Every structure is written in structure tokens, then in C-alpha cells.
Structure 1
Amino acid sequence: MTSRSPGLPLSPPPAVPPALPRLAAGLLGVLLWGAGLGLAPASAQSAFPERFQRGTGTVRPLTRVERPLPMVRQPAVRQPANLPAAQLRPEPGRYPAPREPGMGRPGRPRPGGGWGGVGIGVGAGIIGGILLDQATRPRVYEPEYDEPPPPRYPRRPVVTVEEDFDEPATRPPRRTRPVREAAPPRRTPPRTARPAPGPPAVSVPAVAETRFVPDEILIELAPNAQADTVLRRHRAVLLASRSFALPGVTLIRARLEGGRTARGVLAQMARDRDVAGAQPNYLYALQQPAPGDTAALPPAAPVPDKQPQYIVEKLRLGDLHKLARGEKIRVAVIDSGADQAHPELKGVVEASFDALGGEARPHAHGTAMAAAILAQTQLQGVAPAARLLAARAFSGEAGPAAASGTTFHILTALDWAAGEGARVFNLSFAGPQDRLLSRSLAGARDKGIVAIAAAGNGGAKAAPLYPGADPSVIAVTATDAEDKPFSQASRGSHIAVAAPGVDVLAAEPEGRYAFSSGTSIAAAHVSGIVALLLEKRPDLNLEGVRKLLTESAVDLGSRGRDAVFGAGRVDAPAALARALPVSELGR
């Protein structure tokens, strides 16, 4: 860019009309084209001489006769060597014809080619195109001479006032678009991948565990698996097959052949894809009182009024029965059966069931548990108006397996009691941890059934016993008349509450009575209290009952909850008061 001196304006060059270059280019092209056409006759004469008259330059058509014939080479004629040059005759076809008037030099074309005019015209067109392109191009803006070109898209004029130069110019507010509410996100159900088939849930007992039937196993088949194929593969014989509603499973009870043991076969089944689950048929024992803790009374002997009946004072049954008696609440006692002809149980049995089959003989344990809950005559039951569901799942036979029951029989009894509308399960037995039993108790909890279990008589250093240690039950330990713990009771953080269970007068078969001690009868007393609570509050579930019992319990031992007493000894009136509305408490 050139510099510009102030005060000396430069005059712009004169503008050239845009049409003048185009006109000049067109004229130049026409002149050049005409010049090319003027040279065409000479070139045509030289290229095609036979079509022109000699000496005239006029064109005439070429006839068929006048067309040049192909040259035939004649044989050479020998000339005498001594003849003069004038007498020599030319050989025909050897030399060209002599030149005639009007023709050019013999054998040579006249100057000028046949494409001269075309070439000149093409060159003229190229030059004209270049000139035309230069003429039609937009003029370059020269800031020294020209005015700036107008913008392509003119902006709106901005009006400013001289007085307001010191203040920033304000623009009108922009129109805000209405805010649209965002559409709610689509709820697409999550795609859950189908779980890959995993290893079967097989419970292989530890080496130190002996509480199971050695030659029996319980099998849960995988979908589409054939029972005959699985049994044949593992050399087992079918004993029974049953579907259970509470755990939601169909089980096969099988006996092993050929001296095979349950532990060895279960280890093999852990790799069998046709087996969804398998475990031993565990053994459970009723929590019998220890020798010396039971004193039998003759059938016709009167029942002492004070010491044997200390539970009436401890549980304040007189005041309690004024508010509730367990009306129409069905309590299932899963035990060794009960002597339904005993005077304490007349008229209270709603239904009975025998999961073992065969001949059933009344057993002392089942009769004592049922009377502790529903006694009617000389004894005072905790819930005398409740209804008894007596389920026999324990044999009660003498011997090493006295009063023992298996997993299969207990599950059968629980399923039956749930189908009969039981609201309370009394489980006064103990044994090993059992996966199938735990599933059954969880199913009962989901149905609103409250399961009460004995903590067990294993002693202070024993491992937790089941089902007392299962989270789906309320575990109960035993205390005596002075609120001291039962010496043989199990300990643990799973214990919820304590109840009277030492030297308690209980019913026995054939109309007899006996003193009994243990966590079994303590659990039966708590089952009666739960029946009273459910009479007034049918909506209570397991956790609701647990909360009422633990929050109203009398604290014993160390302050707060402990492994010996749990939350403390049950206080039935206080628990019922928490469950009843204020209007009923004032009656």
C-alpha cells in the first residue's frame, strides 16, 4: 500500500466503461477470423490442383475419367551412349510433366496450409476470452481512491445521541424464549442378563459334624433333570419325594447303597449339573431336661399350690388373662406329639399331624410343651383359649437317637402347620445349622408366622444351636424362680429374651405331672405370650413381636442386652400394654 500525504488528495483514475473491452474483443475476433478466411483459396489451390482450371483459377468438378490413375512403372529403355542430349527421349513415368501456364513451380505446393484460418480463429478466440475475463472481473478495491464497497448484509442503523456518548449505549432487551419443560425420561426396564448356571448348592458336612443320617441325602433336582438318572448315577434309592411350600422346593429323600456315605456322595454331587442342591438329612433332638432335674408325681397326687406354680406369679397370669387369653390363635407345637387324652389338653386340640407315620405313642416332651401353653385344669396355661396344632416330627423312641427328628420330617410338619393357619410355631428342639430349615423358617416369617425357638441346653461354651440361632426366630433361654439363668442353657448374642424354665410343673402322658427344666419349656411360655399379643394385634409380624418383647423385658445380669439373658426376662403385662390401645388398658 502506498503512503498518502495529508492535504494532497490524489485524483482517482478515470473509470473505463465496462462494455468497451467486450466490444473491442469482439471486433478483434471478427477481423482475425476474416483474415483467416481470405487465405483459404490459395491453400485450397495448392492442396487440390486438379479441381481448378488451368490459368483461370475457377473450380470445376472432377469427373470419373479425369481422376488420376495409378502410376505404372514402365520398363527402362536403353539409350545409345553416343547420342546427343537433344535426341535423348525421357522414359515415361520417370520424370514429372512439364509446367503449364497458370500453375506454380512443378512438384511444389503454393505457400499456405489448409488449417491456417482455423488456427488464426482459435487464437483470436483465446485472446478475446482473456480480454473478456479481465473486463468482467470485479474491480479491486483501492483504499486510496475508491469508496469502501457496501456490506453484503447491511446492518440496522444504530442511532446514538451526542449527549449520551459518555454513557454506554443500551440495546433493547432480547426476547426470551419460553422455557419448555423437559420431557420425563423414558423408563426402560433394565435388561437383566440371564445368570449363567453356577455350581449346585451342596452342603458337605464338616468332618467333626455327626448329627445327620449317615446313609441318607436330600436332593433338589435342576430343571429338566430326571430323578432316575441322578439316582442311578450316584447309586441311590428313592425313599420319598415331596414339594414344600414354605421353602419353595421339591426334595427327594434318598438312601445310599453299597456302603457309600453321605459326605462322600455330596462331594461328588457338587460337580453334578443335574443337581440344584443337596445336603444331609440332619438330626435334631428335643431339649430334654438333664437327669435329676425331673421329678415325677403320681397321677392322682394333688398339684402343689405355691412353688411349682411360681410362673403364675412371675408372669402375672391373673392380670394378664383379664385382658387376653389367646382367643382363636392357632399355635403349632412341632414336637413328639401330645397326649390328647390328658385332662390339661381336653378340648384344645384343633388338629394333629404325624410326619413320621406308623404307630404314634404319646411322648412326655410334646405333652409338656402343649400343656405349658394351653393347660386347662390343675395347671394354668399362658394362653388357655388358644387352639393347638399338634405336629409329630420326632420319634420319641428310646435309644441313642431318643426323641430325634430329621430335616425332612420337620419341614413336612412345618408345611402342614402353615397350611392349617398357624400363627405361632413352637420349636423346642435344637441341632446343626440347616440350609433347608432356614429357608422354611424364612418362608414362614414372610407369611406372618412368629416362630419361637429354644436357645438350647448345650451349656455356656457350646456353639450356637439351631433353629434358635436362625434370624427368622425368637430365641428364648431359661431362668429360675429367682431370675437366675439355667446352668445348662446355651449362650450367645442371638438370644432375645429369657422366661421361667427351671423346676416348672408340667404335664406328662397318662394324666401324670412332673417337674421339668430347660429352655424348651421356657420357649413354650413365650409362645403363649405371643398368642395373647396376636389376639389383640393380629397385624403383628415377627419383628413387631420381637420389639414388644425386648423393649418391655426386665433387665437381668449386666446392664443392657447380654449373651446370657438377652434383653432380660419377659414381662407379659408390659408387652401387652404396649400392644393394646389406651382405652382397653383402663378397663
Structure 2
Amino acid sequence: MSRSLWTMKSRRLAQLAGCAGLALLVALPAFAQSYRDQQGYSQGAAATRQGYGQGSRVERTQTTRPYQGGRDTPGRQGYGGQRYPGRGGGNWGPAAVGVGAGIIGGLIVDQARRQPVYDPYEDEPPRPRRPRRPAVYEYEDEAPAVQRPRRQKVREAAPPRQTPPPGRTQASAPGGPRVIVPPVAERRLVNEEVLFELAPGAELDAVLRRHRATLIESRRFELAGTTIIRARLNDGRSARTALAQMAGDPRIANAQPNYLYTLQQESGPKPEAGAAPVPTLVLSPPKPTEAAPAIAVAPKSEPLPQYIVEKLHLDAVHKIARGTAIKVAVIDSGVDLGSAELQGVVAGSFDALGGAAQPEAHGTAMAAAIMAQAQLQGIAPAARLLAARAFASGGAPGLANGTTFHILASLDWAAGQGARVFNLSFAGPQDRLLSRSLAGAKAKGIVAVAAAGNGGAKAAPLYPGADPSVIAVTATDADDKPFAQANRGDYVALAAPGVDVLAAEPAGRYAFSSGTSIAAAHVSGLVALVLEKRPDLDPDGVRKLLAESAVDLGAKGKDPVFGAGRIDAQAALARALPVSASR
């Protein structure tokens, strides 16, 4: 029994004893008086019986004993109606006894009905705990030392978030979740694949067996500083379901989907039935049976008309710099390396997809916009091309997709080849692994230029354009008006010509194109010109120089539509030349 309960019972017993004593004190005097009256009555009766027995006449006189109280008792026949000497007051005894018994009985009943009361200053007795269930292993061949963690609640996928105000979104913090489980509404991923990194000491075979997956490829990515396993799910589960299960496995250091990126990005939500998607680059689809090109090829002595030549003062700029020996990596679809526009500029090529590579329009157009030198005039015609194929259309004209894994492989290859510029003319979801690789590239002095995206003015930020390690570029037309389908946001750094631009296609064809993709390629070419004169500049220095030399458009200063303004190649080189000339 606890001390508090014992204290309360002691108090109750003390109260009970006090009440019993009080009842006895009230009852004792009545008992004593009754006893004395009874003794007097007995003596008087004995004397009377003795007088009658002797036959003598006794004259009755009034007793000299003082009256003790009590009611008069009518005398018996022959006694003259006098009361017995000393009799009276004996009726109080039973009443006192009844009162005392009632008090004592009430206290006892009250005590029996009361519940235990605990001292408010002491804790209540501890409640018994439910026993824990023993750990259960799903597979017998797993090491018994590694216990299965307690089942964690998997958050139900929240409804699609409301589109936040466009702006630069920082990369995931180091303390972020180990496993990224995409929301239900996210469809830009390979549904039957996952990417993950093993914790130190973990065995790959055991992890694959535990999560019912098959190894596709394991590769070390130097820019990201990690080894990533690409695995295929065996039993038809979605990537989201598998990642939710991986969240409780301590042998997995990091895991995420294998995201999808597109070169022809749709505008925000999927279009209605019958509506055409909004592409990043509008190009005429290839027609193998067509004998004539989309635009007749003019003689080499007659360049095709390009408004960007006059807009960016390319004739004057190329007298100062041509991007000589600066390696620019184009991470894109297949490039037509045999195109007349790219002769003599290819420094290397890489195919992250494998298989038979087919030249595609998007990759060829981006490479030509940077360094064309035949019918078209590229921004940096003397730069060196590193063509990395990470996107494939899968036979669908004008639509090409690339995955996180293939893009990372292309970035690592290009960095190993000495690239100074990455051209990233694609868009998609935020990706932690891609952000790590871009941060690693920036640390090595590589300038990454990306398309801001063609989601529209109210669309959420698209990546890698919204990543802090890249320069995001939007598109303008010949009159410096913004491209209507371009994204807006604080992450937009610069604007460049990107509407109705004449672009090269495979097999010697040309077509007009519009979008932030080709605008980004123009900025990549300008970066090559600046680095030729200022090879010491780091990515932040290049960004600052281009922003300070840009033509301010729209609202004064930097704004979400144009960024710092439309690039000005002549003004940018003018800022770079004084330092170069002083050497």
C-alpha cells in the first residue's frame, strides 16, 4: 500500500474513533443515572414487602428524600397513589445508546462506500505496459543481427501542392530525408526503377533480395561523390511503393526515383484531348521520303537570314573572340556529327543510352546554335563540341526523354573530358542527385546553363533551370518581347533570342524554332566567348559579368520575366577585355 493511501485510511480511522468516543461520553451519564434509580427502586420495594409481611399498620408519611425528577407514578391500590421512593429518570439510557449506535453505523457505511483517494502530490501507481511483439524477419537468410525496424507510418500522398510563387528553390538540405517518396501526382519518373545508395557495410545482394529488385547497373559518379545503384522492381510494384518500404531500411543511405526529363516539355498540366503539347523546341518532324529540305539550302556564300546576328552584333564580336578551344558539352539527344554546320568542331561524343544512336533534331539544333559555321552563324564557332547523348525519342518524332541516371553519366563524362560549359536544354522535376552533380561541377569551375522551361507564366519552377548552381535562361523574340510560354520566376537569370530562330536539323535541313532551349544554347555560346578572354572566371564571376552587361528589359532591374535582361555579347566582351589586355 502506498504512503498516500495509508495516510488517508489513518485519518478515517481517527475520525471513527473520535465519533465513537463522543457517543460514549454522551451515553455514560444516562447509564449511571439509570443504574442509581434502579437500585433505589429495588430497596423501596423490599421494605414494603417486609411491612406487609408483619401485619402491622404503618402510617405512611411523605419521604424525606429529595425529589430526583421523573414523572409521578400512580400508586397501586392501597398505597394512596404515591410514587415509589427514588424512582425516575431512567428512560434516557436507551435513547443515548441508539444515538451513539446510529453515529457509529453511519460512519462505517460512509467509510465502506468511499473510493481510494490518492495524494495529489504523489504519482498514481504505474499502469502495466503492453508487451512488445518480437521482431519478425521476412526472409530466413537475412542476418539475425540486423533487426527489422518498427513499422513506420507511411504518409498518404498529399494532394498536389498548390503552385508556389515562382522563385529559386534551394537544393535539399543535408539533413533532408534519406528516401524521397514522390507524391501520387508526380508522373515524371520511371515507374519500375529506383536509384539508391548503400550505407557503409551493407551488402548489395541482401538489399536487392529484401526489396525484390534486380540490379541493372551500378556506377560511380564523381561529380555527385557517390556510387548509385540502378535497380528494376520485379513484382510490378510502383517506384513510390518501393521507396516507401526502403525508408525503413537502415542499409540504404539514400534512395529516390529515376526521374524523367524532356526536351519538348508540356505546358504545366497535360493538355486537353485534341490539344497539342507545348514543346521546348518547335522543329519540323523528319520525313525520310521527302526529297526537298524544310528550307532550301542556299549556297555557302549566301548565309541564311538570322536576326540574332544583328541583335547580338556577332560580326563585330567574332573579330574579338570566337570561343577558341573552349569545350562546350551539349547534354541532349543524338547530334548529327556529319552536319556541315559542325565540321571540324567535334571534340568527342558519348552515348549514355547505348544501342544504335540516331541523329535527332533537338541535339543537332542546340549544337549548331552554339558553333555553326556553314549556312548559319553560331555564337562561338571556334569552340569545341562534346556531344553527350542522354535523351532518345523512342521513335516518336519531336519528343525525347532522358533519365536522372543517364544525365548524371553524361555530366561525369563531359567533366572528365575537360568541359568548361554544360548546355542543359531540358526540363523536369527537382532532383537531389542531379543537384549534387551540378554543385560538384560548379566546384570544379564548370559553368552550367539551362533552359528556364516552357511551362507558362504561372507554372512551378522547372529543373535544372531552377537549381542554384546553373544560369537559367528565358527566351525573347526579335523585338525583345518575352516568349509567351516561358516560365517566370526569380530563378530566371538572363534572357536571350529564342523565338523563330533558324536552326539546323539532321540531313542538311533547317527549320524555325522557338523556346527556352535554343535561348539557353545562345547563352552557352556567349559563355565560351567570355571564357576565351577570361579563363580565370568561376561560374559566379561569369554570371555576374553577363548580368551586368545585359540589356535591361521590362521592369527596372532584375525581374521574374527577363531576369537581369537580354544578353549583349559585345558589352560582355567589353567588360572582359580590360583585364585580359592588362596581362
Contact 2:188 2:428 in 1 (8 A): yes
Alignment of 1:95-134 (within 5 A): none
**Equivalent residue of 1:202, what SS?**
coil
Give deviations 1:397-423, integer Å, cap 9, x for gaps.
Answer: 234993100000000000000000000
2:468 to 468, 471, 493: 471
1:101-154 CA distance string (max 9 Å, x none): xxxxxxxxxxxxxxxxxxxxxxxxxxxxxxxxxxxxxxxxxxxxxxxxxxxxxx
What is the aligned counterpart of 1:346 among 318, 343, 348? 343
1:241 aligns with 2:238: no
Aligned to 2:566: 569
Specify the SS of the correspondent of 1:380.
coil
Separation in structure 2 between the aligned mates of residue 234 and residue 273 of structure 1, nearest angstrom: 13
Q: Report the Cα distance in structure 2 between the residues aligned to 1:498 and 1:518, rounded to whole angstroms.
A: 11
Q: Distance in 1 between matches of 2:419 and 2:217?
A: 25
Aligned to 1:256: 233
Matched, 1:302 2:279: no
Secondary structure (helix, strand or coil) at the match of 2:486 reads coil
Structure 1 residue 506, shift from structure 2 partner: 0.5
Task: Extract unaligned runs of 5+ from structure 2.
Answer: 1-173, 266-277, 286-292
Instruction: State the distance in 1 between where 2:384 and 2:355 align.
Output: 25
> Which of residues 232, 238, 245 is equivalent to 2:209?
232
CA drift of 1:463 comes to 0.6
User: Once the two structures are superposed, what CA deviation does each residue of 1:140-185 show, in whole Å capped at 9, x if it has no partner?
Assistant: xxxxxxxxxxxxxxxxxxxxxxxxxxxxxxxxxxxxxxxxxxxxxx
Q: Which amino acid aligns with 2:238?
A: T
Cα drift, residue 582 of structure 1: 6.7
- Where does residue 494 of structure 1 map in the other structure? 491
The 1:340–1:198 alpha-carbon spacing in structure 2 relative to 1, beyond 3 Å, is closer
Which structure 2 residues correspond to residues 541-580 of structure 1 after superposition, within 5 A?
A: 541-580=538-577
Distance 1:314 1:398 in 2: 36
1:280 to 253, 257, 260: 257
Alpha carbons 1:200, 1:272 under 8 Å: kept: no
Shift of 1:287: 3.6
Q: What is the deviation of 1:293?
A: 5.0
SS at match of 2:260: strand
Alpha carbon RMSD of aligned pairs, Å? Answer: 2.2
**Residue 304 of structure 2 contacts residue 376 of structure 2 at CA under 8 Å; is this kept in 1?**
no
Offset of residue 321 of structure 1: 0.7
Partner SS state of residue 581, structure 1: helix
- In the alignment, the residues of structure 1 paired with residue 492 and residue 294 of structure 2 have an alpha-carbon distance, to the nearest angstrom, of 36
Structure 2 contact 264–400 (Cα < 8 Å) conserved: no
Distance 1:414 1:378 in 2: 30
Q: Distance in 1 between matches of 2:262 and 2:282?
A: 18
Match of 1:421 in 2: 418
Q: How far off is 1:378 after superposition? A: 0.9
Whole-angstrom CA distance in 1 between matches of 2:371 and 2:217: 34
Matched, 1:219 2:196: yes
- 1:224-252 CA-to-partner distances (Å, cap 9, x unmatched) read 10000000000000000000000001011
For the residues of structure 1 that align with 2:419 and 2:580, how far apart are their CA atoms?
29
Aligned to 1:132: none
Judged with a 3 Å threshold, the aligned counterparts in structure 2 of structure 1 residues 532 and 273 are, in CA distance, closer, same or farther, namely same
Could you tell me how far 1:290 is from its partner in structure 2? 4.0
Does residue 1:370 correspond to 2:367, yes or no? yes
Cα deviations by residue, 1:36-73 (Å, 9 ceiling, x for unpaired) = xxxxxxxxxxxxxxxxxxxxxxxxxxxxxxxxxxxxxx
Is 2:494 aligned against 1:517? no
| Structure 2 partner of 1:527 | 524
Measured at CA, do residues 436 and 422 of structure 1 come closer, stay the same or move farther in structure 2, by a change above 3 Å?
Answer: same
> Using a 3 Å threshold, how does the CA distance of structure 1 residues 292 and 463 change in structure 2: closer, same or farther?
closer
Cα distance in 2 for residues equivalent to 1:214 and 1:400: 23
Distance 1:561 1:399, change over 3 A: same
For 1:264 and 1:400, how far apart are their aligned partners in 2?
33
> Does the Cα contact within 8 Å between 1:474 and 1:496 map onto a contact in 2?
yes
- The 1:397–1:233 alpha-carbon spacing in structure 2 relative to 1, beyond 3 Å, is same
Please report how far the alpha carbon of residue 583 of structure 1 lies from its aligned counterpart in structure 2 after TM superposition.
8.0
Deviates most, 198-207 or 218-227: 198-207
* Partner Cα separation in structure 2 for residue 584 and residue 295 of structure 1: 45
Question: Is the 2:534–2:580 Cα contact (8 Å) retained in structure 1?
Answer: no
In structure 2, the partner of 1:203 is 180
Distance 1:291 1:501, change over 3 A: closer
> CA distance change for structure 1 residues 232 and 479 in 2, over 3 Å: closer, same or farther?
same
Return the match for 2:477 from 460, 464, 480. 480
Q: Is the 8 A contact 1:326 1:532 kept in 2?
A: yes
Q: CA deviation at 1:581?
A: 1.3
Normalized against structure 2, the TM-score is what? 0.64
Q: Identity over aligned residues, as a percent?
A: 72
Cα distance 1:510–1:261, how it changes in 2: closer, same or farther (>3 A)?
A: same
In structure 2, how many angstroms separate the alpha carbons of the residues matched to 1:337 and 1:292? 15
CA distance in 2, matches of 1:262, 1:582: 52
Q: Residues of 2 paired with 1:391 and 1:557: CA distance?
A: 36
Partner amino acid, structure 1, of 2:260: L
Structure 1: segments with no counterpart, 5+ residues: 1-196
Q: 1:397 to 1:472 in 2, by over 3 A?
A: same
Q: 1-side partners of 2:316 and 2:398: how far apart?
A: 42
Question: 2: CA distance between counterparts of 1:488 and 1:572?
Answer: 25
Counterpart residue identity of residue 546, structure 1: R
Q: For 2:281 and 2:229, locate their aligned partners in 1 and report how far apart those are by CA, in whole Å.
A: 41
Change (3 A) 1:287 1:303: farther
Q: Secondary structure at the match of 1:369?
A: helix
* Aligned-partner Cα distance in 2 for 1:198–1:326: 41
Question: Is the alpha carbon distance of 1:275 and 1:349 closer, same or farther for their aligned partners in structure 2, counting shifts above 3 Å?
Answer: same
Deviation, 1:294, is: 4.2
The structure having more radius of gyration, on CA atoms, is 1
Closer, same or farther: CA 383–581 of 1 in aligned 2, 3 Å:
same
**8 Å Cα contact 1:428/1:519 also seen in 2:** yes
Cα gap change, 1:208 to 1:443, in 2 (>3 Å) = same
The answer to whether the 8 Å contact 2:179/2:243 transfers is yes
The Cα offsets for residues 410-450 of structure 1, whole Å up to 9 and x where unpaired, read as 00000000000000000000000000000000000000000
> 1:299–1:511: 8 Å Cα contact kept in structure 2?
no
> Per-residue displacement from partner, 1:487-525 (whole Å, max 9, x unpaired)?
111111000000000000100000111111100000000
- How far apart are the structure 2 equivalents of 1:484 and 1:413? 34
Residue 113 of structure 2: aligned partner? none
Could you tell me which residue of structure 2 aligns to residue 317 of structure 1?
A: 314
Q: Residue 383 of structure 1 corresponds to which residue in structure 2? A: 380
Which amino acid in 1 is paired with 2:503?
A
Shift of 1:205: 0.5
Distance 1:266 1:397 in 2: 27
d(CA) in 1 for partners of 2:580, 2:177: 56
Provide the aligned length of Structure 1 versus Structure 2: 389
Q: Deviations over 1:339-378 (max 9, x none)?
A: 0111001111000000000010000000000000010111
TM-score by length of 1: 0.64
Give CA-to-partner distance per residue, 1:3-33, whole Å, 9 cap, x none: xxxxxxxxxxxxxxxxxxxxxxxxxxxxxxx
**Matched residue of 2:306: which SS?**
helix
Is the CA contact (8 Å cut-off) linking 2:295 and 2:511 kept in structure 1? no
Q: Is the 1:222–1:274 contact (alpha carbons within 8 Å) kept by the matching residues of 2? A: yes
- After superposition, the Cα gap between the structure-2 partners of 1:276 and 1:333, relative to the gap in structure 1 and judged at 3 Å, is same
Give how far 1:306 is off. Answer: 9.3
